[in-house]
Amino acid sequence: MNPVTPEQVEKMMIEKMGALPASLNSAKAVDPRFLVEQAMSSKFSMQDEKNPFEPKTSMMLALATSITLGSEECIAEQTKMLKKMGLTKEELAFLVKIVKHAQSSAVMGNAKAAFDTFER
């Protein structure tokens, strides 16, 4: 089996997303192999045949993570793909509510050391 080429990955991404994301376009200019690495990462996770989640759920998990990490480009691309998959406004609103709750819970967890130190 021949290894996949950066050109093949780029073509596949453009077909799937309509365009190569700007970050990957910049990465490609430095080293085209970044495209292959990105595709392999997706194949290992989102597109793995053993992935127990259906594609829409997997993409919703990716969007939740991107929102948490603050990756605007990923948020935009994942939201576009989710709209094509039938994501509703209600589902998006609850996804954001869940992310917001998880983030605020993390803040409380991170503050534990401050609370404990203060009370000593």
Q: Could you tell me where the DSSP H helices lie in the chain?
A: 6-17, 22-30, 33-44, 55-69, 72-84, 89-119
> What does the DSSP 8-state code read for residue 6?
H
Q: What is the CATH number of domain 56-120?
A: 1.20.1290.10
pTM comes to 0.81
> Going residue by residue through the chain (120 aa), what tens digit of pLDDT does each one get?
668 899 999 998 898 888 888 899 899 999 999 999 998 988 888 889 999 999 999 999 999 999 999 999 999 999 999 999 999 999 999 999 999 999 999 999 999 999 999 999
The residue ranges of every structural domain in the chain are: 1-44, 56-120
